[in-house]
Amino acid sequence: MTQITMMEDNSLLLDRRDNARNVEFLGVVFTPLNAQQLLERVVQRANSDEKFGFLITPNVDHFARLSKDDTYKHIYENSWMNVSDSRILELFAKFSGFDLPACPGSDLTANLMNDVIKAGDDITLIGGDAGIVEFLQNKYAVKVHWHEPPMGLKNKPDALDEAGKFIANSPAKYHFVCVGSPQQELVCEAAMKYENAKGVGLCVGASMDFLAGRAKRAPKIMQQFRLEWLYRLLSEPKRLWKRYLIDGPRIFSVWLKWRKEK
């Protein structure tokens, strides 16, 4: 079980973009925390009186998209914090001379649900389906405030605003936004417009599917060797072949360009 403790370094509790611990990598400002530090930061923020803020966990797919179109660059600038979701990004950061620990959103989601959020607590779920809601209610006995937005969400301003307003009106401290990127980040930006919005928005993609056992994560040995992408590709080749075989390799050129411009 993950143990929640207060951090000795109070500077880690700062939410400012000029925090000395932050690093710019591939054009995005990251906060390099390990999984335990991230969990503590999220819990601290959720229990504060601060206005709503949201966490993004960028992976290689995010940078493949940005390399083709930076239309959504603002989501990383408006977030409360960005942490790396990818062991591939962690490796490229190491090649660049600094540590950027991988903190997968699926791990954060599991740690929050198993070790922090208690029976009877409120949580928000944007996305998912009735089966996921039933799973959360049965396994964790939580009160799920569920909103199911329409398909094509990123191109529907009214639907984005409706989802953001739903978050603002929810009594939950933890808002799990699971509609894929950049939709989930756009929903959180919409929530920021409402003064009554509180708590933390967690842009965690398919994390609830992993938690419910609908999708399986790569074995630990494959995770250690940074081969999660291969496991997922073999699990869903028809859906993911383009992401991992065409778009994903763009990270090499993105990194080389970034290094050249430094």
Distance CA 223, CA 81 (A): 24
pLDDT of residue 221: 85
Enter the tokens of residue 164: 């953001």
Q: Would you kindly state where each structural domain of the chain is located, as residue ranges? A: 32-261
Q: C-alpha distances in angstroms, 193 versus 107, 165, 196?
A: 29, 9, 9
Which residues are 122's β-sheet partners? Answer: 143
Residue with tokens 């903190």: 103
Using one digit for the tens of pLDDT, what is the confidence trace for 88-114?
A: 999 999 999 999 999 999 999 999 999
Enter the tokens of residue 90: 């962690």
Mean pLDDT value of segment 30-47: 96
Q: Which option is the CATH number for 32-261: 3.90.170.10, 3.40.50.300, 1.10.230.10, 3.40.50.10700?
A: 3.40.50.10700
pLDDT of residue 82: 98
